[in-house]
A and B are shown apart, each in its own frame.
Chain A
Amino acid sequence: MLLDIFDPKAAPRAIGIDLGTTNSIVAYVRDGAPAALTTCDGAPLLPSVVHYAKSGAILVGRAAKAQLTREPERTIASVKRFMGRDAHDPETKRLGAHRFAEPANETEARSVRFDVGRPANVTPVEVSAEILKSLKQSAIDQLRGVGGAVITVPAYFDDAQRQATKDAGRLAGLEVLRLLNEPTAAALAYGLDQKQNGLFAVYDLGGGTFDVTILLLEDGVFQVKASGGDSALGGDDMDRAIAEGLLEQMGASRESPAEVVALALSAARELKHALTDAPEASIELPARGGHNIVAKLTRAQLDDLILPLLERTGKACRRALRDAGVEAKALDGVILVGGSTKVLRVQSYVAELFGKPPRCELDPELVVAYGAALQADLLTRDDGDVLLLDVLPLSLGIETMGGGVDKILPRNTTIPTGARATFTTYADNQTGFELHVVQGERELAADCRSLARFSLRGIPPMPAGMARLEVELSVDENSLLKVSARETTTGISQEIAVQPSYGLTDDDVERMLIEALDFGEEDLERRRLVEARVEGERLLLATNKGLSADADLLEAPERAAVDQALAQLTSAIASATTASPVQAAIDVLDQVTHDWAGRRMNRAVAQAIAGKSLNDIEKTVEHAAGVDAHVARHRGDTA
């Protein structure tokens, strides 16, 4: 094994994290190639299980997993399935050993809460943060410093689930550089490994989520054409299907004590794994009446049990192909991702579905983390010719009168994206608007995921239909939504702080952050300083790089101001004891480079457009003459 020689001046390294339902992995890029780091369990795979011991200790990984059948209620597995979900979500009603806390009020009901036998219940965000903290610590131990993280999420995660993942990252003290879709991450790892252009499908069946992504790899751009999936479908559901049968054989039921349910689930998992190598498997289990039984399962039985689940994935795949406007036979390859694709029937089903054998040269359990590490590296290097262009997984819309949905941004729109829609009043002298932003494909707002409700007040009385409310939705590269609204006839404008309908508020996360630190505010301030320094260092690097390429776009006085701001930031980073002087120097640099940045962007755009051949330009001019002539004449008419 190669060991990195410790360089005290080495910049902190960006890491990639696959925060999985069953296992989590942290990876980084060494000499241009991704590598998984060893977790606290001594292996790349860290079981995504957290145990809240009676002693107050929190265990993560294999040690926690060992407690699953002993103290199931204090042990949280598959927490990912509860991310961004509210206390009454159907997911909480399925077969499992979790003990959910009754929400005390409406605010609490916005998130699932686990009762782990402690005074304070824990949310999925907090549980996920424990897993992330453990991975972060492993990375710090091996890399000395961590400079930001890319965390992967299922492509089919909605806004609430993404936001929850980002919050978990923040809570773990990670700077979340980007949320990256898992299939896109896998494609990146494959694409950079195989250096091959073409149209690919990624079939990603994990422990709790299913994604399918159709993407085109060309000119170094990984362009997602369509994504589909189910954020509550995976290996866990196979386990449940097997466990239902085991419980029956044990003379038990889903209402039995949590220990019994946990035992059946764990036995189901063992049987499933054993069937990858053998045509049949058996396990000894305690049964009602004190005797033991031997439960047997054959591959054929397993195949029958999981077929309904596979058919659900098939439906999502056909829809994604339809959305992408391609047929299965046009695909150059199908890539398998996720631990559940190790099940043989899954592989043969995918082969039948797409009409070609799927590829799995890269370990389906590590490939997502590899892609995340590569993306983290790309983001911090600020160069290269590789870009990921992803899509919005689920349509965004606004509830209309009568409970329908006005879809403002359709699914599979390339992100980042934005759209405006105008609404009007329906009653005379109406002075406020209520808006409800939803995400999903269903016709009725009540059947979609509610993302946010907000109201705009203070509109002067007018007859119905006179006021104009312009709502703007914008979606960033992480598929995270921002909403703003203004009334255009009176100019009442309001950047609306959208109160999420689900999950935690910013204040909640801030409070948890302070509580999580040993010395509260003091620690938080120290952490802010570290973060400001990292940001400042990165800015120095980026600005100097910009100067070496585009210094000619700066006037002499501007150049002087930039140089001065750089010097100030350098000294602030060296001498500051709190974050604010560093932040102030960052703001100054930001300000003095603003116009220059715009010019640099214009240059980049001009270069992108000038990239075409002269031949094309001539053809263009010839064709365009017809419309131009027409426009000229019409201008004459209307002027």
Chain B
Amino acid sequence: MTSSPFELLGVPVLFALDEAELEKRHRELSKALHPDRYAGRPSSERREALSRAISVNEAFRQLRDPISRAEALLLQLGRGVSETNQPKPAPALLMQVMEEREALSVARRAGDRARVERIAAAASGRAEEAAERMADAFSEDPIPVEHVLELLGELRYLRRLKEEAGAALDEL
């Protein structure tokens, strides 16, 4: 079995990871494994370093993002989820998301960049809040898995909204 991203980066199995600590660990491991460090070495050693550096970078990417970090934790709890088998979100959230997307498409059509930027900023703010609630949920004992799944759904919706706002800003 492959190592968990927490194990690969040598960080605690935790949602509320210290971001600065995580980045520092990634830098240190990169210094140990990046292919540039193996430039003069035999080819098999270079290949080995490359594949380890890839694993470390993948783990870092996974832990830096709250959604995939939560997924990695859920996997450790025996609840593998992904976008396709995630439980349905609450109707209230769905309503809200529909309204926000409508507002976004109105602002996009009107070419109102400031408005799109506000929508993007609001989505980022709410995603941060949701991530904080997620951290709280993961620190409870026992972990309220259903609540975590709900928050995960919310984070996914907010991410998509942010992506759509980003795409709109690319156009404007």
Judge whether A105 is part of the interface by a CB distance below 8 angstroms. Answer: no
A382→B141 contact, CB < 8 A: no
**Inter-chain contacts of B30 with A (CB < 8 A):** 221, 387, 389
Q: Given A319-B169, A633-B142, check contact A221 B57 (CB 8 Å).
A: no
Q: Within the assembled complex, what's the spacing in Å between the Cα atoms of A621 and B12?
A: 7
Contact with B along A590-627 (1 / 0, CB 8 A): 11011001100100110111011000100011011011
A624→B39 contact, CB < 8 A: no
B45→A597 contact, CB < 8 A: yes
Q: Which of B27, B39, B48, B54 is most buried by chain A, counting CB atoms within 10 A of its CB? A: B39
Judge whether B5 is part of the interface by a CB distance below 8 angstroms. Answer: no
Judge whether A102 is part of the interface by a CB distance below 8 angstroms. Answer: no
Contact of B170 among A319, A609, A637 (CB under 8 A): A319
Q: Within the assembled complex, what's the spacing in Å between the Cα atoms of A221 and B24?
A: 10
B35→A477 contact, CB < 8 A: yes
A385→B48 contact, CB < 8 A: no
Interface segment, one of A76-84, A446-454, A502-510, A536-544: A536-544
> Nearest residue in A to B171 (C-beta to C-beta)?
A315
Q: Given A414-B60, A590-B43, check contact A627 B76 (CB 8 Å).
A: yes
**Inter-chain contacts of A388 with B (CB < 8 A):** 36
CB proximity to B under 8 Å, residues A434-453? none
Judge whether A322 is part of the interface by a CB distance below 8 angstroms. Answer: yes
Q: Given A419-B58, A616-B21, check contact A477 B28 (CB 8 Å).
A: no
A634→B40 contact, CB < 8 A: no
B60→A590 contact, CB < 8 A: no
CB proximity to B under 8 Å, residues A149-185? 177-178
CB proximity to A under 8 Å, residues B1-51? 10-14, 16, 21, 24-25, 27-37, 39-45, 48-51
Q: Within the assembled complex, what's the spacing in Å between the Cα atoms of A382 and B34?
A: 12
B77→A416 contact, CB < 8 A: no
**Inter-chain contacts of A634 with B (CB < 8 A):** 77-78
Contact of A604 among B32, B143, B166 (CB under 8 A): B32
Contact of B50 among A178, A416, A623 (CB under 8 A): A416
Judge whether B52 is part of the interface by a CB distance below 8 angstroms. Answer: yes
Q: Within the assembled complex, what's the spacing in Å between the Cα atoms of A611 and B143?
A: 31
> Nearest residue in B to A218 (C-beta to C-beta)?
B27
Q: Which of B32, B138, B143 is most buried by chain A, counting CB atoms within 10 A of its CB? A: B32
B78→A638 contact, CB < 8 A: yes
| Contact size range, A | 35 or more
B37→A416 contact, CB < 8 A: no
Q: What are 7 sample pairs from A and B whose C-beta atoms fall under 8 A apart?
A: A591-B44, A609-B25, A616-B21, A624-B12, A624-B14, A626-B140, A627-B77
Contact of B138 among A539, A542, A593, A627 (CB under 8 A): A627
- Taking A380-B40, A593-B45, A601-B33 as known contacts, 18 extra A-B pairs with beta carbons closer than 8 A to each other, sorted by chain A number, are A319-B170, A379-B39, A382-B40, A387-B31, A387-B36, A416-B35, A416-B50, A418-B58, A477-B35, A590-B42, A594-B45, A597-B48, A604-B32, A620-B12, A624-B13, A627-B143, A634-B77, A637-B78
Judge whether B155 is part of the interface by a CB distance below 8 angstroms. Answer: no
Contact of A221 among B27, B40, B45, B166 (CB under 8 A): B27
B29→A608 contact, CB < 8 A: yes
Contact of B32 among A474, A591, A601, A616 (CB under 8 A): A601
Judge whether B147 is part of the interface by a CB distance below 8 angstroms. Answer: no
Closest-CB distance, B55 to chain A (whole angstroms)? 8
Judge whether A137 is part of the interface by a CB distance below 8 angstroms. Answer: no
Q: Within the assembled complex, what's the spacing in Å between the Cα atoms of A591 and B142?
A: 50
B48→A413 contact, CB < 8 A: no
Closest-CB distance, B124 to chain A (whole angstroms)? 9
B48→A612 contact, CB < 8 A: no
A627→B169 contact, CB < 8 A: no
Judge whether A631 is part of the interface by a CB distance below 8 angstroms. Answer: yes
Q: Within the assembled complex, what's the spacing in Å between the Cα atoms of A223 and B76?
A: 30
A477→B25 contact, CB < 8 A: no
A389→B13 contact, CB < 8 A: no
Contact of A541 among B40, B44, B143 (CB under 8 A): B40
| Contact size range, B | 35 or more
Secondary structure dominating the interface of A: helix
Q: Within the assembled complex, what's the spacing in Å between the Cα atoms of A389 and B40?
A: 18
Contact of A538 among B40, B45, B50 (CB under 8 A): B40
**Inter-chain contacts of B73 with A (CB < 8 A):** 627
A418→B143 contact, CB < 8 A: no
- Measured CB to CB, the residues of A under 8 A from B are 177-178, 218-221, 223, 315, 318-319, 322, 378-380, 382, 385, 387-389, 413-419, 474, 476-477, 538-539, 541-542, 586, 589-591, 593-594, 597-598, 601, 604-605, 607-609, 611-612, 616, 620-621, 623-624, 626-631, 633-634, 637-638
Closest-CB distance, A471 to chain B (whole angstroms)? 15
> Nearest residue in A to B43 (C-beta to C-beta)?
A590
**Inter-chain contacts of A616 with B (CB < 8 A):** 21
Q: Within the assembled complex, what's the spacing in Å between the Cα atoms of A476 and B33?
A: 13
> Nearest residue in A to B35 (C-beta to C-beta)?
A477
Q: Which of A223, A416, A590, A616 is most buried by chain B, counting CB atoms within 10 A of its CB? A: A416
**Inter-chain contacts of B139 with A (CB < 8 A):** 623, 626
Judge whether B61 is part of the interface by a CB distance below 8 angstroms. Answer: yes
Closest-CB distance, B26 to chain A (whole angstroms)? 8
Contact of B45 among A319, A415, A590 (CB under 8 A): A590
Closest-CB distance, A329 to chain B (whole angstroms)? 14
**Inter-chain contacts of A626 with B (CB < 8 A):** 138-141, 143
> Nearest residue in B to A625 (C-beta to C-beta)?
B141
**Inter-chain contacts of A322 with B (CB < 8 A):** 166, 169
Judge whether B149 is part of the interface by a CB distance below 8 angstroms. Answer: no
CB proximity to A under 8 Å, residues B72-131? 73, 76-78
Judge whether B161 is part of the interface by a CB distance below 8 angstroms. Answer: no
B61→A413 contact, CB < 8 A: yes
Contact of A608 among B28, B40, B60, B138 (CB under 8 A): B28
Judge whether B152 is part of the interface by a CB distance below 8 angstroms. Answer: no
Closest-CB distance, B46 to chain A (whole angstroms)? 9
**Inter-chain contacts of A220 with B (CB < 8 A):** 31
> Nearest residue in B to A545 (C-beta to C-beta)?
B40
> Nearest residue in A to B14 (C-beta to C-beta)?
A623
**Inter-chain contacts of A315 with B (CB < 8 A):** 170
**Inter-chain contacts of A380 with B (CB < 8 A):** 39-40
**Inter-chain contacts of B10 with A (CB < 8 A):** 608-609
Q: Within the assembled complex, what's the spacing in Å between the Cα atoms of A326 and B64?
A: 15
Judge whether B63 is part of the interface by a CB distance below 8 angstroms. Answer: no
Contact of B31 among A221, A413, A630, A637 (CB under 8 A): A221
> Nearest residue in B to A441 (C-beta to C-beta)?
B170
> Nearest residue in B to A597 (C-beta to C-beta)?
B45
